[in-house]
Structure 1
Amino acid sequence: MKYVLDVHTHTIVSGHAYSTLLENAKYASEIGLELLGTTDHGPSMPGAPHEWYFGNLKVLPRELFGVTMLYGCEANIIDYEGTLDLPIDMQKKLDILIASIHEPIMNANKNSDLNTTALLKAMDNPNVHILGHSGNPKFPIHEEEIVKKAKEKNILIEINNSSFISSRIGSEKNCSRIASLCKEHGVKIILNSDSHFAYRIGGFDAAIKVLKQIDMPEELIINKSKEDFLDFLRAKGKNL
């Protein structure tokens, strides 16, 4: 199966990534992606851009090098109330919003109740489209509660390739369990590279390996169709 989109990618603006927006878009075009999302870290992350950066994304073109572009943010969940680190009015204007828990914004802990509450409350935010790398072993959760909430709120669960190869090492078991629950409950997932360098864009091999082990149905993987993903965003109120 050919996957045609990757919507969790970072540019040098994130502070610890290494490619520009144009470099990312050009590489996405070279490997045949049809849609690329650029989602730099929210302003609470050390080195991340000021919120004005996200307010000015409207000046960027909808297409670069033949690739349809979406502009958004990987926002940080900053407390156990599920608060994100961008103003609500700014969240509404983004094409795409990923909500993630990160160190050092939140302290790593083994309290599954607290971590689950943070994610559940973030998912009550109607501006959230994707739940980012929820299999992080440093922030254990009650997986089934999260998956059921994703179905209720029509939020995509991310299977993050970087979690297996460069970040959040030890995520395989948790991600496999989360994906299995998505399969059981009919919840759609999205493969994302979480690229911090252009050549990682569209790289899903490690995530695909996990999905093959559980025989994940292709119809639950939204990456296979640009229009399916755009329709998902339109159903969430986006004018694309």
Structure 2
Amino acid sequence: MKYALDVHTHTLASGHAYSTLMENAKAASEKGIKVLGTTEHGITMPNSPHIWYFHNYRVLPREMYGVTMLYGTEANIIDYDGNLDMDDFTLDKMDIVIGSIHDEVYKVGSVEENTRAFINVIESGKIDIIGHLGNPGVPVNFDEIVKCAIENDVLIEINNSSFTTSRVGSHGNCKEIALLCKKYGAKLIINSDAHFCTLIGEFTAAVNMLESIEFPEELIINREPNELILRLKKKGKLKDL
């Protein structure tokens, strides 16, 4: 199946990505993506945008090149208590919030400490998606996190970039996560984590892994972009859509 939803992408505003917002939107349109999320890194990541950047999303159009645009952030989980590097006032303005651990701004701890960080941020109600959970550099208890995500209506991400350009060694972990999602009936989302426009909507490696375990299509939220829109609206977001 060709998926038309990609909500974890970056522009040059994130400091280590290479395309503009319009270049990403145009590439998304050409690839058949219907809903594109721009989720710049949170403010503690080196060379990330200033907080004002996120506050000024309101000047951006809701549609570009026929693509519905979502404007959010990949906020950094910064401690074992699950605190994020973006304040609540800013987070409340975001269309979508991904919570991720990056060792540039987080001191990787034990399995128990790292798991606690994810559990706490999920239970905080501040995030919509857990980003690249399969990172082998951040050991966690996948079973506990998947169960917690189900209970709190948070999506688990299968990050295509983790298979191809970053977080080497993620394949086995991502497969384990997907098998747990299949076992418990947890919804997941496939994202490109594109840092260049040609990678928008590139899910091949992630899809191949999911197909290898016969992962149920009905548990992949990308199959119907409007399902994510409705999910976010239920949380009080996207009032202008």
| TM-score using structure 2 length | 0.97
Aligned to 1:153: 152
Secondary structure at the counterpart of residue 53 of structure 2: helix
Letter in structure 1 aligned against 2:60: L
Secondary structure at the counterpart of residue 68 of structure 2: strand
Listed one character per residue, the Cα deviations across residues 205-224 of structure 1 (whole Å, up to 9, x for unaligned) are 01011101111000000001
Report 1:1-240 matches (<5 A): 1-109=1-109, 111-238=110-237, 239=239, 240=241
Secondary structure at the counterpart of residue 98 of structure 1: strand
Shift of 1:36: 0.2
Letter in structure 1 aligned against 2:73: C
Are 2:39 and 2:71, in contact at CA under 8 Å, matched by a contact in 1? yes
Letter in structure 2 aligned against 1:7: V
Letter in structure 1 aligned against 2:76: N
Secondary structure at the counterpart of residue 40 of structure 2: strand
Q: What is the percentage of aligned positions where both structures have the same residue?
A: 55
Are 2:79 and 2:107, in contact at CA under 8 Å, matched by a contact in 1? no
Counterparts of 2:88 and 2:226, CA distance in 1: 27
Are 2:81 and 2:121, in contact at CA under 8 Å, matched by a contact in 1? yes
Shift of 1:196: 0.2
4+ long deviations beyond 2 Å? none
Counterparts of 1:35 and 1:108, CA distance in 2: 33
Counterparts of 2:207 and 2:235, CA distance in 1: 27
Letter in structure 2 aligned against 1:75: A
Shift of 1:23: 0.2
* Structure 2: tracts of 5 or more residues without a match: none
Listed one character per residue, the Cα deviations across residues 134-189 of structure 1 (whole Å, up to 9, x for unaligned) are 01001011001000001000000000000010110100111100010001111100
Alignment RMSD (CA, Å): 0.8
Secondary structure at the counterpart of residue 92 of structure 2: helix
Counterparts of 1:185 and 1:235, CA distance in 2: 22
Counterparts of 2:226 and 2:41, CA distance in 1: 26
Letter in structure 2 aligned against 1:18: Y
Shift of 1:127: 2.5
Letter in structure 2 aligned against 1:32: G
Shift of 1:197: 0.2
Letter in structure 2 aligned against 1:180: L
Letter in structure 2 aligned against 1:89: F
Shift of 1:125: 2.1
* Structure 1: tracts of 5 or more residues without a match: none
Counterparts of 1:66 and 1:125, CA distance in 2: 34
Listed one character per residue, the Cα deviations across residues 55-86 of structure 1 (whole Å, up to 9, x for unaligned) are 11111100000000000000000111101111
Shift of 1:107: 2.8
Letter in structure 1 aligned against 2:114: N
| TM-score using structure 1 length | 0.98
Are 2:133 and 2:157, in contact at CA under 8 Å, matched by a contact in 1? yes
Counterparts of 1:112 and 1:235, CA distance in 2: 33
Counterparts of 2:123 and 2:90, CA distance in 1: 17
